[in-house]
A and B are shown apart, each in its own frame.
Chain A
Amino acid sequence: MSSIPLPAALQRDDHVAMEQKANRRKRMSRWFSILCVIIAFLSVVVLVVLLVSISIQGSSRLSTDLLSNAHSELHPEQAGMWPAIVGTLFVCGVCALGSLPLGIGTAVFLEEFRPRKLELRWLRHRFPDQSKTWDKLASGLYKSIRGFHSFIQLNISNLAGVPSIVYGLLGLSLFVYMFNVFGQIKVNEASGWEIAGAQHYYQVLSLESGQVVLIPQTDRTQSTLTVESPTTGVTPDGKTYEVGVWEPGSPKPTDPSVRRRTVRKGAKGGVFTDRAWYYFRLPFDRSFLAAGLTLALVILPVVIIASQEALRAVPPSMREASLGLGATTWQTTRDVCLPAAIPGIMTGAILSMGRAIGEAAPLLVIMGAAIAKSTGPQHLMDDAVTMPVLIYNWAGRQQAVYQELAAAAIIVLLIVLLLMNSVAIYLRERLSHV
């Protein structure tokens, strides 16, 4: 009966050794938990050190000037970042409008509309044909749908790791130039396909210095106008008036109101385009719209992957219950899966918008390093200054004032980011109790 020897561990009856071993294991466990706490603490310390050093450096520049003024080269002590705040909100708004619907839609397609044997059955049902070739064709078609599906999945995972500057270059040809399909935006020449909101005039200097007359343009191909005879001008609010011509040599009019409406004979005028806020044109050129859409590309993979995770976390039983009650896939997605996944999707959206707001590289490629704009974008095709680009520029300046301004601007950027996130978290809380 006792032919099988007991294992060595059970044979030993050394209580002291056993206790030592147990103590050692417990000590290891304790050490490990302490290590984890230290590591977690370290990352917080780094963040705190960063925040403290930035606030020390930038606190002296945190003023209403910073929030209300524009960048100033001549008076750096009064420089501000209001246009940059507005610009960032616009760019991020376009980015959210572009990436969230697309990203969530793609996630729904990948998770909820996975190709199942169902499609194959549907194919066979729709085209009842018993021949072998048809069978092969149908299953081939089904396999290619599955292949397409996993191809998209693979691409999305890869795209999440592509550096943002590469997206900047993509955005440059895709949105800024649109592969030159709609022509190029050139000074003194064509301006692409203007679809809405543009009024073209010739602008000619009048005799009164600093004042101009506007003459409506009739032929879009003629880029300069030479005034030889009296013609019709318009005021900015649309009233027409007679534009007089003064011939050099003859007595010059003296009355300012007449001088304002008179131009020198042979005076030349270039085209001026009056743009309404809805001015729309293809290609987008270096506008905030192109920048926002490029950022949307940057964060799209992140949004898709986060939304996929969220949808995957919805218990299959809920889905099956819904389908079992006779709901279609669309009804199940709309009324069961999406509401349950909304908190997760929103978390992904918050994280990705956080990335978008701090992104500088693609914006530098798309809009250039322009920072001296004194207002936010005035029309859809206008360019914009953004906070990361402004900080990048200020931090590289030699004057100490700009270094401090850069630190202060970072604080403002963090506050704007926190505000945006809290709005999103508030929305998430409300939506998850639908």
Chain B
Amino acid sequence: MTLVSKLFCNGMTLACITLMLTGCESKQSDSTDPVAPVSSLTGDVKIDGSSTVLPISNAIKEKFSEAYPEVNVSVAGSGTGNGFNRFSGKETDISGASRPIKPGELEACKEAGIEFIELPVAYDGLTLVIHPENDWVKQLSIEQLKKIFVGSDAVKKWSDIDPTWPEEDLKIFAPGVGSGTYDYFHEVMAKKDKAELRKDMTLNEDDNVLVQGVAGNKYSIGFFGVAYFEENKDKLQAVPIINPSDDTAYLPTQENIASGKYAPFSRPLLIYVNAASLNNAQVQTLAEYYLQNASETSEQVGYVRLPEEVIQRGIANLDAQKTGSHYVDAEGQSRSGSVADIFVEANRVE
């Protein structure tokens, strides 16, 4: 008898402690300027999608919460594909994507009766990296990269690519199959030829492991997002890639990515906004805020800003609520090319 009541009493004490803890936490981080009028805008905004876009969305949320403290923005990053799954299941208002929507995902949205507004927010570049002591690779062409990465008969030694290069085994480090980066690399390198990337690469979801791997072996090569390279410049060397359209090699610098010269390895990051959600004042306000601050914020978290005119086209589309995708044509085929070329009114299919 006493045992049970004692257990109960102790349980209650614990519960009280927990409740007290929450009491003092609720209005903690409201560090807004007391002079600025606090907005009374309130409500929920749900964001999910690419883990690559997540840092941008988190940073936007952080700034937005200072201006609109009552709005509850929840940002998750379960991946581009999972994000679109939830988006077409009407679970989220906004979906982040590190690649344009796929025809199948567009179909799912249509079936669920979801109209969306497609908005590019920033650039991410994919960097090919080698060991800093590697002095034989000066630049790589797409054909050479295909020799290295594509197919089960891909080369085993550096000398197989160019006879003047050392006769040493290649070590390859790449992001995991589930990542948008792997998807993107696969799309650029192998999709048109209906080929697959080689299977004997060291794959890892954690980009830090890739950095360590390439930095630890003179005869290694790898690829990942440009933001990671920027942080590890001292340990790695980026490879200039020959742009197929003008046969010149370009390094993945901010300027080259923004001008579209670093092709084909720069990709747009986008957000997709559910058009029905725009009736909610808080979603509308956040979406506008997102675009207005996208360039500055994405630079702060390590990405590259889009050309101003692309951002302005996005703002115009949002204002006019022009729904539909620019990346899937009327026949249901994906378009590819630079954002500035694709993200134009003529390509929009509702």
Contacts and interface: CB of A to CB of B under 8 A. Distances in A.
| Chains A and B come from one and the same complex | yes
A268 B279 contact: yes
Contacts of A270: 43, 277, 279-283
Given A204-B281, A396-B206, A398-B227, A370 B55 contact: no
B3 A211 contact: no
Interface stretch (A55-63, A69-77, A105-113): A69-77
Interface stretch (A33-41, A117-125, A182-190): A182-190
Contacts of B230: 398
Contacts of B75: 370, 372
A430 B65 CA distance: 46
A188 B274 contact: yes
A167 interface: no
Contact of A203 (B43, B54, B68, B208): B43
A82 B37 contact: no
B62 A73 contact: yes
A434 B91 contact: no
Nearest to B297: A74
Interface string B298-319: 0011100000000000000000
A210 B285 CA distance: 9
A106 B6 CA distance: 21
A368 interface: yes
B51 interface: yes
Given A90-B18, A269-B279, A373-B74, A431 B62 contact: no
Nearest to A205: B281
Interface in B49-83: 51, 54-55, 57-59, 61-63, 65, 67-68, 72-78
B97 to A, nearest CB: 16
A203 B42 contact: yes
Interface string B10-36: 100011001001100110110000000
Contacts of A173: none
- Give the bracket for the number of chain B residues in contact with chain A: 35 or more
Interface stretch (A139-147, A300-308, A316-324, A332-340): A332-340
Nearest to B86: A368
A375 B206 contact: no
Interface string B238-280: 0000000000000000000000000000000000001011011
A431 B3 contact: yes
A271 B280 contact: yes
Interface in B179-237: 205-208, 227-228, 230-232
A364 B205 CA distance: 15
A223 B280 CA distance: 10
Given A187-B90, A203-B281, A211 B40 contact: yes
Contacts of B302: 398
A144 to B, nearest CB: 32
B77 A369 contact: yes
Interface in A65-94: 68-74, 82-83, 86, 89-90, 93
Contacts of B54: 369
Given A269-B281, A369-B77, A378-B26, A423 B42 contact: no
B325 interface: no
Given A73-B62, A423-B14, A375 B26 contact: yes
A431 B39 CA distance: 52
B134 to A, nearest CB: 22
Interface residues of A, number: 63
Contacts of A364: 78
A74 B6 contact: no
Contact of B25 (A72, A86, A338, A370): A86
Contact of B58 (A71, A368, A396): A71
Contacts of B18: 89-90, 93
B41 A86 contact: no
A423 B15 CA distance: 13
A347 interface: no
Contacts of A211: 39-41
Interface in A366-383: 367-378, 383
B7 interface: yes
Nearest to B301: A73
Contacts of B68: 210
B323 interface: no
B46 interface: yes
Contacts of A69: 29
A371 B48 CA distance: 12
B289 to A, nearest CB: 11
A75 B232 CA distance: 20
Contact of A187 (B22, B39, B277): B277
B40 A212 contact: yes
Contacts of A375: 25-26, 28-29
A84 to B, nearest CB: 12
A368 B77 contact: yes
Contacts of A185: 91
B74 A203 contact: no
B1 interface: yes
B4 interface: yes
Contacts of A396: 205-208
Interface string A97-117: 000000000000000000000
B279 A212 contact: no
A427 B300 contact: no
Given A375-B26, A431-B7, A210 B37 contact: yes
Contacts of B73: 372
A336 to B, nearest CB: 10
Contacts of B29: 69-70, 374-375
Nearest to B61: A372
Nearest to B48: A368
A20 interface: no
A9 B14 CA distance: 68
Given A72-B62, A73-B301, A375-B28, 6 more contacts: A73-B300, A74-B300, A82-B25, A335-B3, A339-B3, A398-B228
Interface of B: 1-4, 6-7, 10, 14-15, 18, 21-22, 25-26, 28-29, 37, 39-44, 46, 48, 51, 54-55, 57-59, 61-63, 65, 67-68, 72-78, 89-93, 205-208, 227-228, 230-232, 274, 276-277, 279-283, 285, 297, 300-302
Interface of A: 68-74, 82-83, 86, 89-90, 93, 184-189, 203-205, 210-212, 223-224, 236, 268-273, 334-335, 338-339, 342, 364, 367-378, 383, 396, 398-400, 403, 423, 427, 430-431, 434
21 contacts: A71-B58, A73-B59, A74-B297, A184-B89, A186-B91, A187-B90, A203-B42, A203-B280, A210-B40, A212-B40, A270-B280, A334-B1, A342-B3, A369-B54, A369-B76, A374-B65, A376-B22, A396-B206, A430-B6, A431-B7, A434-B2
